[in-house]
């Protein structure tokens, strides 16, 4: 096929025109107005209304767009967001691997990459501490989000209404605690023991709101024996190109090694998370003069 033939084939393809419509539905006008109608899409694209109507029916059948039954406007569909989410998480894990390895080497402590799954935090990637005695690698394990620093980080950009609704559903979820099996203990992992209740800094919705405000102000969350005796940690948010929090980095360690440097660890984790966010296209704060 000659370059002219390839160019002609591309120009007559409907794919480019479909992408143009999807981009329109992701525009500020469409988002602010709850979508776009067939007439408006036809005006913006310069195409015939009947052609647009058929195209929207095809995109709707593929669940790439959906129609509001009250306004009859079209907006981006759930399948498109699902594809984007899977792509984002795959990219995140791929790029995070080297970052986590560097953090674990710099801090010499176990480092995790965590995402939110309903009411739980899921650890999707772990880099273990080089120390013989270290905290657990939780890769593939979920635990109650509101009781963990990484979980609180993951919901720290939510509005009060969303948080209240989420807490009503998940506020009774309990963290995973208890002794490790003998083989893990023999391998040098810290033995998990359930801490006393007075170690918990979040006990209800009001204390959760207060802790999330502290996280927003500091840029990180800390954990001081709240889940496991002699285990401390720090977590910070990872954001995507929209500025939305999509994951968290967590570093955990025996308290005997971190001592009184928990906030210093938090600041370091926040900087590392910011660097990973930047590699994902997240907007960066302006440099101070």
pLDDT in tens, 178-196: 444 444 444 444 444 555 5
Q: How many residues does the chain have?
A: 289
Task: Kindly report whether the global pTM for this prediction surpasses the value 0.85.
Answer: no
Is residue 237 pLDDT above 90, yes or no? yes
pLDDT tens-digit series, residues 101-112:
999 899 888 899
Structure tokens at 223: 């954990």
Is residue 48 pLDDT above 60, yes or no? yes
CB 147 within 8 A of CB 121: no
At 2, the pLDDT band (50, 70, 90 cuts) reads very low
DSSP state string for 200-212: -S--SHHHHHHHH
Sign of CA dihedral 24, 28, 34, 38: negative
Which residue's entry shows tokens 């807490």? 167
* Residue 77: CA count within 13 A, CB half-sphere: 16
- Calpha distance 179→248 (Å, rounded): 25
pLDDT value of position 239: 92
Is residue 272 pLDDT above 80, yes or no? yes
Query: Is pLDDT larger for residue 167 or for residue 282?
Result: 167
- Calpha distance 190→207 (Å, rounded): 29
- Percent over 70 (pLDDT), the chain: 78
Is residue 87 pLDDT above 60, yes or no? yes
pLDDT value of position 230: 80
Q: What value does the mean pLDDT of the chain take?
A: 81
At 256, the pLDDT band (50, 70, 90 cuts) reads confident
Which domains are seen in the chain, by residue range? 3-76 (1.10.10.10), 86-279 (3.30.450.40)
CB 119 within 8 A of CB 144: yes
- Of 59-68, 123-132, 279-288, least confident by mean pLDDT is 279-288
């Amino acid at each position: 096929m000659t370059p002219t033939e390839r160019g002609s084939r591309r120009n007559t393809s409907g794919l480019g025109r479909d992408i143009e419509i999807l981009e329109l539905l992701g525009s500020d006008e469409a988002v602010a107005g709850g979508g776009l109608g067939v007439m408006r899409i036809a005006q913006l694209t310069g195409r015939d209304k009947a052609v647009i109507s058929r195209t929207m029916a095809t995109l709707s059948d593929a669940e790439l767009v959906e129609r509001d039954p009250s306004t009859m406007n079209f907006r981006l569909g759930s399948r498109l967001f699902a594809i984007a989410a899977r792509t984002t998480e795959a990219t995140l894990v791929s790029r995070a691997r080297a970052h986590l390895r560097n953090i674990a080497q710099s801090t010499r402590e176990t480092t995790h990459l965590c995402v939110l799954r309903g009411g739980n935090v899921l650890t999707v990637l772990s880099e273990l501490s080089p120390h013989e005695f270290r905290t657990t690698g939780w890769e593939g394990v979920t635990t109650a989000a509101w009781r963990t620093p990484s979980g609180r980080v993951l919901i720290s950009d939510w509005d009060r209404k969303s948080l209240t609704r989420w807490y009503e559903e998940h506020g009774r979820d309990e963290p995973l605690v208890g002794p490790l099996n003998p083989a893990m203990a023999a391998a040098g992992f810290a033995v998990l023991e359930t801490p006393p209740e007075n170690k918990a800094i979040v006990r209800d919705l009001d204390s959760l709101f207060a802790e999330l405000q502290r996280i927003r102000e500091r840029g990180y969350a800390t954990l001081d024996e709240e889940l496991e005796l002699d285990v401390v940690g720090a977590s910070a948010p990872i954001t995507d190109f929209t500025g939305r929090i999509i994951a968290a980095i967590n570093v955990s360690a025996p308290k005997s090694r971190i001592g009184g440097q928990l906030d210093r660890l938090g600041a370091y984790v926040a900087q590392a998370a910011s660097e990973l966010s930047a590699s994902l296209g997240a907007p960066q704060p302006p440099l101070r003069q």
